[in-house]
Amino acid sequence: MSGHSHQSWGRWPRASQQVLPLYWPDDQLPATGDLSLLPRGNGRSYGDVCLNDGGALLDCRQLNRFVSFDPEHGRLACEAGVLLGDIQRLTLPRGWMLSVSPGTQFVTVGGAIANDVHGKNHHRAGTFGRHVVSFELRRTDGSCLQCSPSENPELFRATVGGLGLTGVITRAEIQLKPVSGAYLDQQTVSFDHLDRFFELAAEADRQHEYTVAWIDCLARGPELGRGLLMTADHRDEANCSEPARRRLSVPFELPVSPVRSWSVRQFNRWYFNRQRRNAGRRRVHYQPFFYPLDAVGQWNRVYGRSGFYQYQCVIPEGQAREAVSDILERVSDAGSGSFLAVLKRFGDLPSPGLLSFPMPGVTLALDFANQGQRTLDLMDSLDQLTHAAGGRVNPSKDARMSAAHFQQAYPGWKQLQGLADPGLSSSFWRRVTVAP
């Protein structure tokens, strides 16, 4: 038993917990007595859904074996600790790729299910959970259940997006999608104002498989919400080569974070202008398009010792234009905006999980360096705007939303609590399930 303190990707909040590894899918879950346990994948969640302060974490990364791959139908079965990037590398040369890919390839299959992650093709494919054929769930009472949309369907719905609280996912079977190769045709269009995004985005979704926009959230006034809309489609080119290896990494936690409003403002301006000059069509490898931040190892260290928050909300279509504009104004006024604010329309394909985040509308994701109460106050005020517009905040990335906000935005939480494994808990779950 080792006592490492594992962090989440946001490096905040800090938590201290025992870490117990699970090496084989048929190993007994460790007995932790009165301590609660939380299954954990690669720890890429930003907030505290992957922390269990005062309890124990079950490290599932060694459950990383493939079980079977059927190259005729694109069905892959593997253990839950397999990383998404390893799946891509295995199946791409045989003509298949993940149906849904989040913004980093360094997440496990179990984590992708438990957070019901989404990607740049949400308008076509919905969330990751929609492509999960079945999984095996082990509970702390010793039971082991097969779950699929038709077998133990209640537990299936509770576990997809269930933040690891219903049991330990040990194996899963997923459906991949056929592709010719590793390359995409990417098109970049710049827009000078948020309004223009809304005009472009709906049409882009109709035409393209992948769409995502980057917003300069520190631009104000007539430039509010200026940004770049990137779209991409698979090329009909049977080239499965790997891209050039990444070389950059942030070797250690920076003692003083260089992320200040002036430096971010300069960076965003430089990035916007550079990309605008490069606008147009390009042939790109899927990795830099899907996983741009993976190019810099441990990039979360640039925020220094106090870490950062990611704020991601979704606003229903009708209210989106106004609410996103209000949020950006608030952020820009506060001057604490981030690199690479991401804006994307979600499609209307239903998410399978009780607690899945995506719903039809527009989602905005922002990073904020942790500057204490000031940052918390800003995000609370964003919650109010989100809430008033009928939207909600993504639990997988959250480290601070109030119990009241969570419970109102996710009425399914009561049902999840009923289906949760009593031996499991997380810092997040204890925080948002208290009586408001």
Partner 1 sequence: MTRALIIGATSAIAGAVARLWAEQGHALFLTGRNPERLKLLRHDLLARGAARVETAVLEVTDTLQQEAVISQAVQTLDGLDLALLAHGSLPGSDDWHSSPEAARLAFEVNATATITLLTRLTGLFESRQHGTLVVISSVAGDRGRQSNYLYGAAKGAVSLFTQGLRNRLHGGPVRVITVKPGMVDTPMTRSFDKGLLWATPEQVAIDVVRAVSRGRDVVYSPWYWRWIMLVIRLLPEWLFKRLRL
Min separation Cβ 26 and partner 1, Å: 6
Cβ distance to partner 1 smaller for residue 26 or 34: 26
Quick one: DSSP state of residue 246? P
CA distance 179 to 237: 9
Min separation Cβ 91 and partner 1, Å: 9
Cβ distance to partner 1 smaller for residue 3 or 418: 3
Min separation Cβ 408 and partner 1, Å: 43
Encode 263-298 in three state secondary structure: HHHHHHHHHHHHHHHCCEEEEEEHHHHHCHHHHCEC
Quick one: DSSP state of residue 78? E
Min separation Cβ 275 and partner 1, Å: 36
Cβ contacts of 216 within 8 Å, gap of 6 or more: 223, 226, 227, 268, 269, 271, 272, 341
302 contacts 249 by C-beta, under 8 angstroms? no
Buried/exposed code over 182-191 (b: 16+ C-beta within 10 A; e: otherwise): bbbbbbbbbb
Cβ distance to partner 1 smaller for residue 245 or 281: 245
Cβ distance to partner 1 smaller for residue 176 or 314: 176
Instruction: Measure CA 420 to chain center.
Output: 22
Min separation Cβ 145 and partner 1, Å: 19
Min separation Cβ 4 and partner 1, Å: 7
Cβ distance to partner 1 smaller for residue 168 or 218: 168
CA distance 127 to 180: 22
The secondary structure element, H or E, covering residue 98 is strand 96-98
Instruction: Please give the residue ranges that form the binding site for partner 1 (CB under 8 A).
Output: 1-4, 21, 23-26, 62, 65-69, 90
Cβ distance to partner 1 smaller for residue 222 or 251: 251
Min separation Cβ 256 and partner 1, Å: 24
Cis peptide before 411 (omega within 30 of 0): no
Cβ distance to partner 1 smaller for residue 1 or 248: 1
